[in-house]
Amino acid sequence: MMNRKIFICIILTSLLVLVASFSGCISGIKIYEYTDAEYEADENTILEVSNVNGFVNVSGWDGDTVFLNIEKFTSKRYGEDEFEKVEVNVNKIGNKISIETLYLEKRAYTRVAVNLDIKVPMYVTVDSVKTLNGGIYLSNLKGDIQIDVENGPIIVNQGDGYDSTTDTIVDNLGNDYSISTDSRGGILNIVKNERVDTATGTVGTQIPSITEAVRYRIKSVKGSGAILRPRLIPRPIEPQGEIKQVIDCIE
C-alpha cells in the first residue's frame, strides 16, 4: 500500500538559478507530493531504475524489502493537478523489479520533477540506473551496474553544507552547472547550464574531444565532501569507419 502526502514550501532562489531555466529547477513556492511503497525481494532479485527529470538515490540497507520513496514537486502556480500527469510505474515480473518514471503529457516534463530514493537489501543485484536530467547517487550495492546520465556528472558522494541558491560547479571546458540540495546541503541534482554565444546568438554547451578529461570544481563557501565523476560515453558497438581494404589476416 502506498502512502501519499502533499506539502507546500516557500523556496527562495537566486537570479542565477532563475536564469538557468533548466527543467529540474522549479523556482518560487513549491508543492511536494510524497509516496512510499515496499516490495518483497530475495537473493535472486534484480533491480532496474529509469527516471526522466530528477535524481536517483539507490543505497543498500539491512531490511529485507525494496523500499521506494517518490518525491514529486512542482510550482504552486501550476497546481496539484500536475502530479497526475506523471506516473512512477513499478513492475515485478519474475525476479526482476523495474521502476520507471513516465510523463503522460510533454509539458509536464518542464513542470514536474521526480526524485527517487530507493533502499535495497544488500543481496539484491542492481542492474541499471538511468536518468535523463539529474544526478545518480549509489552506495553499498551489489552488481555490475550500468549507469546512464544524459545531463550532468555522476554524484559519487553528496557531501554536505552546500547551498543551491549560491553554489555552482564549473569544469575545465568552460561549462557551468546549477545544483539542487537536500535538507542537510547534500548535492542531489546537477544540471549543465546552456551558454549563449554572444557573436552568433546560438545556444549550446562545450563538448569535449576524445583526448580531453573533464575536471569539475565546486564553488562553495560552506559546502564540503562532494565527489563528482564525469559521465563516460560508451564505446560504440559498430565500427566508426569504413573498411577500404583488408591487407592481411592472421588466424
Judged by average pLDDT, the poorest of 79-88, 156-165, 190-199, 232-241 is: 232-241
Average pLDDT estimate for 230-236: 53
Average pLDDT estimate for 169-173: 84
- State the pLDDT at residue 8: 45
Q: Which residue has the higher pLDDT, 41 or 207?
A: 41
Can you give the pTM of this predicted structure? 0.56
pLDDT over 70 at 148, yes or no: no
Q: How many CB atoms lie within 10 A of CB 58?
A: 23
pLDDT digits (tens, 9 = 90+) for 76-97: 888 889 899 999 999 999 999 9
Average pLDDT estimate for 46-68: 92
Among 114, 138, 106, residue whose Cα is nearest residue 124: 138
Q: How many CB atoms lie within 10 A of CB 138?
A: 17
pLDDT over 80 at 3, yes or no: no
* Pairing of β 96-103 and β 46-53: parallel
Cα 108 from Cα 78, distance rounded (Å): 10
Judged by average pLDDT, the poorest of 27-41, 98-112, 149-163, 237-251 is: 237-251
Cα 204 from Cα 30, distance rounded (Å): 29
Q: Which set of grid coordinates corresponds to residue 138?
A: 549509489
- State the pLDDT at residue 178: 84
What residue spans define the domains of the chain? 3-229
pLDDT over 90 at 241, yes or no: no
Q: How far is CA 222 from the centre of its chain?
A: 23
Cα 150 from Cα 155, distance rounded (Å): 13
Q: Helix, strand or coil for residue 133?
A: strand
Q: Which residue has the higher pLDDT, 230 or 119?
A: 119
Average pLDDT estimate for 30-43: 93
Lookup result for grid cell 514529486: 72
Cα 57 from Cα 126, distance rounded (Å): 12
- State the pLDDT at residue 144: 67
- State the pLDDT at residue 19: 28
Q: Helix, strand or coil for residue 9?
A: strand
Q: Helix, strand or coil for residue 246?
A: coil
- State the pLDDT at residue 123: 92
pLDDT over 60 at 232, yes or no: no
pLDDT over 60 at 57, yes or no: yes
pLDDT over 60 at 71, yes or no: yes
